[in-house]
Amino acid sequence: MATLAIGVMLAIWLSTVDIIEWLYVYSRQHAGLHLDELFSVLLVGGVVAVVILVLRDRDLRREVHCREVAERTAERLVRYDDITGLPNRRLLFEELNRRIVGARMHGSCFALFFLDLDRFKAVNESYGHGTGDDLLRAVAERLVLTLRPQDFVARLGGDEFAVVINASTEKHVEHHVARRILFSLARPFTVHGVRHEMSASIGITRFPDDADGPESLMRCADTAMYRAKSSGRNTFTTYDKAMEEISGQLRESLDKGLFHPFYQPVIDLKTGRVVGLEALARWDHPTKGILGPDAFIAVAEDSGLIEELFRQMLQQLSEHGKAWDPGLRIAVNISPYQFRDPKLSSRILQQIAAAGFSSQRLDVELTESALVIDVETTRQVISELKAQGVRVSLDDFGTGYSSLRYLRELPFDSIKIDRSFVQRIDSDSGSRKIIESIIDLSHALGYETVAEGVETREQATWLTEAGCDLAQGYLFSRPLPRDEIDTFLLATNAEPEG
């Protein structure tokens, strides 16, 4: 083949040389016609034309190639997520439509999972978006490895994923798969040398049982997911028709003013007197009676309703507080999510000032997770509040990830020892040692200590002897509605007779 090509090229070359030679001779013989110049022009023109054609052809090929690449990229961008490489929402909807047609044809069913990572925002905000993206990639990878090839995984955006699996009409395979996903995410992720604990809340819905189209399936899965969040995260919930939209209800109940503070007295262990009250939110649910925070705080946080809930709590406690002994401090819990708002302190101060409640009587309680979400904003909010006389307590101490550095750097007024330690006072010497060290540490830093969840006289006695300042718990009182507080105060704080 090569020899043939060389032969052909040689022949072309020889005949070209022959032609040029002949033209040369001819123009010499007819010098008067100036043919040599004409031939030179034609020759050069021909060569230039060939070069232009070759270049143009190369450009065209390049353009076609670029266009093909761009089309393929556009196709990817439209249907795939650029961070994880997983299918995106659009491809998920196409897949759902495809599965719906298939399921209708074969009388089969499938399940859709809506998966939302728990507290992912905290990672993003404290470690930056680079780490956040890497973590999302690692989660995507683990999901793909956990599922079977015929299952479908998509990223919907943010920290939300979706999974579609074939289900069976009798057996609930989806429960099994959901457990497997939660189990696989429970292994810590290491990103840039830092370990991250991840968990997810999963909402599950089935076709055709729950809904008949992609949009309605997504809505059901979303509702179920919020239910999973509100029941404590790191769990899954299957949609059931009777399940009302909890966040919708929450919003409605907030509009109707169905949230109220209950108050739990805080007792001075030395004198036995009530020195303060902690406001704890209760939902006066239209059908289910009085619900505690476990039923709604997580949903309120995830749906952005926590700010409004807090505003209503603060409004009511300001009103109630004005009627009680001005010596009583009233504590309110602030969700870690609220500390992302740099205006939090001015909002609080303005609101209580407008309600006529003194900032000197307010105590705000925050948990260590606020420090993980945004330590700088938290620090700023705390200092601004303290500058106006508001007290700041570190709640649930010992359960989170706060470092001793924060304890020293942030100007707290008191530390609340988590009830998990208090409740093991009688049985576990380790818990007693931890409590003693917390008391020593906080006194060394000038903080007051409050023991939470004191249920027995023995616990109270031991805590008093260990030097703990204040206590709260069922031993003294459960959280009470506003109108029962007066009676309690009257009975407990009455001046001794004589």
Among 313, 372, 438, 450, binds ligand C2E (CB under 6 A): 313
396 binds ligand C2E (CB under 6 A): yes
> Among ligand C2E, Ca ion, none, what binds residue 225 when CB lies within 5 to 8 Å by partner kind?
none
Q: Would you say 448 and 416 are in contact if contact means Cβ atoms under 8 Å apart?
A: no
Q: Give me the least distance between CB of 304 and ligand C2E, in Å please.
A: 13
Number of residues that this document lists for the chain: 498
395 binds Ca ion (CB under 5 A): yes
User: How many residues form the binding site for ligand C2E (CB under 6 A)?
Assistant: 24
Among 87, 132, 398, 453, binds ligand C2E (CB under 6 A): 453
Residues 246-265 that bind ligand C2E (CB under 6 A): 264
280 binds ligand C2E (CB under 6 A): yes
Of the candidate spans 292-300, 376-384, 406-414, 484-492, the one that interacts with ligand C2E by CB under 6 A turns out to be: 292-300
Q: Give me the least distance between CB of 399 and Ca ion, in Å please.
A: 9
Residues 351-380 that bind Ca ion (CB under 5 A): 365
Among 225, 396, 398, 470, binds Ca ion (CB under 5 A): 396
205 binds ligand C2E (CB under 6 A): no
The CB-nearest residue to Ca ion is: 365
Q: Token pair 């029941």 is at which residue?
A: 231
297 binds ligand C2E (CB under 6 A): yes
Q: Which is nearer to ligand C2E, 144 or 295 (CB)?
A: 295
Of the candidate spans 115-123, 250-258, 291-299, 432-440, the one that interacts with ligand C2E by CB under 6 A turns out to be: 291-299
Among 258, 455, 456, 464, binds ligand C2E (CB under 6 A): 455
> Among ligand C2E, Ca ion, none, what binds residue 264 when CB lies within 5 to 8 Å by partner kind?
ligand C2E
Q: Would you say 229 and 201 are in contact if contact means Cβ atoms under 8 Å apart?
A: yes
Of the candidate spans 162-170, 246-254, 259-267, 330-338, the one that interacts with Ca ion by CB under 5 A turns out to be: 330-338
> Among Ca ion, ligand C2E, none, what binds residue 68 when CB lies within 5 to 8 Å by partner kind?
none
Q: Give me the least distance between CB of 219 and ligand C2E, in Å please.
A: 27
Q: Give me the least distance between CB of 186 and ligand C2E, in Å please.
A: 24
Q: Give me the least distance between CB of 263 and ligand C2E, in Å please.
A: 10
333 binds Ca ion (CB under 5 A): yes
> Among ligand C2E, Ca ion, none, what binds residue 474 when CB lies within 5 to 8 Å by partner kind?
ligand C2E
Q: What is the 3-state secondary structure (H, E, C) of the chain?
A: CHHHHHHHHHHHHHHHHHHHHHHHHHHHHCHHHCHHHHHHHHHHHHHHHHHHHHHHHHHHHHHHHHHHHHHHHHHHHHHECCCCCCECHHHHHHHHHHHHHHHHHHCCEEEEEEEEECCHHHHHHHHCHHHHHHHHHHHHHHHHHHCCCCCEEEEEECCEEEEEEEECCCCCHHHHHHHHHHHHHHCCEEECCEEECCCEEEEEEEECCCCCCHHHHHHHHHHHHHHHHHCCCCCEEECCCCCCCHHHHHHHHHHHCCEEEEEEEEEECCCCCEEEEEEEEEEEECCCEEECHHHCHHHHHHCCCHHHHHHHHHHHHHHHHHHCCCCCEEEEECCHHHHHCCCHHHHHHHHHHHHCCCHHHEEEEEECHHHHHCHHHHHHHHHHHHHCCCEEEEEEECCCCCCHHHHHHCCCCEEEECHHHHCCCCCCHHHHHHHHHHHHHHHHCCCEEEECCCCCHHHHHHHHHCCCCEECCCCCCCCECHHHHHHHHHHHHCCCCC
Q: Give me the least distance between CB of 76 and ligand C2E, in Å please.
A: 42
Q: Give me the least distance between CB of 380 and ligand C2E, in Å please.
A: 19
Chain positions contacting Ca ion, by CB under 5 A: 333, 365, 395-396, 452
Enumerate binding residues for ligand C2E (CB under 6 A): 264, 280-281, 292-294, 297, 310, 313, 333-335, 365, 395-396, 419, 452-455, 472-474, 479
